[in-house]
Structure 1
Amino acid sequence: MDKILLMLQLQASLNEATNGDKWSDGITKNGKVINWRRCIYMECAEMIDSFTWKHWKNIDQEADWDNLQVEVVDVWHFVMSLAIENYSQTLRGQVEDLAINISESKSFKKIDTKEELFAKQDDTIEKIESIMIDTLSRGPLDLEKLISDFFDLVVMSGLNLESLYNLYVGKNILNQFRQDNGYKDGSYIKVWAGEEDNVIMKRILEQNSDIKPDELYKELTKLYLALNKS
């Protein structure tokens, strides 16, 4: 449960820092409506572009599983945000209650594994589309099904609890770094010397799996400053 709880706490903190302390009411500090469901299905649509699904273009190109894994983590940000908001608005409990319920669910066992195998491309796309359907429905949210489908996708994309946690913490820190360096006003540079910052963050984690969040932030700062000086 520890990793699930920490990820939920980090996400709640990031949402509060970015959107204000009323974010779970569905509105930002600037009065803009928050739609986590839309965030999820739009991110899922982008995720499908990790595959060569087009029958008229790049038909022999290999799937980009590294990009898919980063996109899965992006969706996890929104799934957790939607879950926290749902628990708050339906009075089901706080972040700690959500963490307990997720950890005790049958679907959690799917990711609490050591396997790291990729599923077939078409099966993975079908699962992504299932998540989109979960969030496109205008009826009451079936949060348990959404989380179960997401955990299926985690395993199908070659991730597990440990790797999901590591990538999530990395992306969380990167998101904080982006916010601190002009992401909202458009001055932030997302492509560093020809590579997207997501890729660079993932490489840092792969080169040092024991790196602490504050150390990752410092490493990103060092690389970004070097980029801006060049």
Structure 2
Amino acid sequence: MNNKILMMIELQNGLNDATNGKEWTKGITKNGKKIDWRRCIYMECAEMVDSFPWKHWKAITAEPDWENHQIEVVDVWHFIISLAIEEYTQNNRGSLEDIAVQISNSNTLNKIETTEESFAPIDAVLEKVENLIRVAISKEAVDLDTLFGEFFDLVAMSGLNLDSLYRLYVGKNILNQFRQDNGYKEGTYIKVWNDKEDNVVMKSIWETNSDVTPEFLYEELSKVYVTLV
């Protein structure tokens, strides 16, 4: 079992518990709001498309925003993990560790267990994003193997590997948790830190540390944030 995959699954489960309530796997938040992870996936994928100059009538010489695209890839991963946990729970398929085992034993993970990081042609990336949308909006029972396979294809095509996906995921997950703990829902959270958005600060922390742990990142965010309030 890949420990980084398990860590991401455990972090996502904890974040969902904190933000949606302990019974979120039933498809309802603690406030009675319906949860639709498939919709989250395809809407995030639609935002991903806008990282590229796909419009033939506007900004036709613009460069692709690969950095933003990678962030969107990580956001989609949050929702895919959540859908997998919901699927396993509702159908009594096993634990969080069992999900990690399923992913680790699949051939699809091999695509990103590499040191290589390169960008695929834009049209190929967009086609892969649209494949992921088709899987997400299907009315059939969720096929996690296909969903994971399409996603890891996209990861590999987006200049990411398992290590960089892990670092970005941990960063965004912990930042989301940090926001919740510091008044995000109440509207009191400060998002711009000394003229920099918190996303930028978070990314700079993990870029300067080769092996970021969730605890370390949260502590470093706290050190900076306490100087603002």
Superposition TM-score, scaled by structure 1 size: 0.93
Residues 127-154 of structure 1: CA deviation (Å, up to 9, x unaligned): 1111111111122112211110000010
- Give the C-alpha shift of residue 188 in structure 1: 2.7
Which residue pairs with 2:119 in the alignment?
Answer: 118
Q: 5+ residue gaps in structure 2?
A: none
- Equivalent residue for 1:3? 4
CA RMSD of aligned residues (A): 1.6
| Other-structure match for 1:133 | 134
1:201 — aligned with what?
A: 202
Structure 1 counterpart of 2:58: 57
In structure 2, distance between residues paired with 1:92 and 1:212: 29
Worse overlay, 128-137 or 149-158: 128-137
For 1:15 and 1:43, locate their aligned partners in 2 and report how far apart those are by CA, in whole Å. 17
Give the length in aligned residue pairs.
Answer: 228
Q: CA deviation at 1:195?
A: 4.2
Q: Secondary structure at the match of 1:31?
A: coil
Shift of 1:192: 4.0
**Counterparts of 1:223 and 1:64, CA distance in 2:** 28
Q: Is 2:163 aligned against 1:162? A: yes
1:68-106 CA-to-partner distances (Å, cap 9, x unmatched) read 111111111100000010111122111111111110011
Whether 1:98 and 2:102 are equivalent positions in the alignment is no
Residue 90 of structure 2: aligned partner: 89
1:44 aligns with 2:45: yes
**Identity over aligned pairs, percent:** 62
Measure the CA separation in 2 of the matches of 1:10 and 1:78.
Answer: 12
Report deviation, 1:191. Answer: 4.1
**C-alpha distance in structure 2 between counterparts of 1:73 and 1:223, whole Å:** 24
Give the CA deviation at 1:211: 3.7
One-letter code aligned to 2:173: N
Instruction: State the shift of 1:218 in Å.
Output: 2.6
CA contact (8 A) 1:41 1:132 kept: yes
* TM-aligned CA deviation for residue 197 of structure 1: 2.5
Please name the residue that 2:72 is paired with.
71
2:224: which partner in 1?
Answer: 223
3-state SS of paired residue (2:202): helix
Partner of 1:35: 36
Assess if the C-alpha contact under 8 Å between 1:26 and 1:35 holds in 2: yes
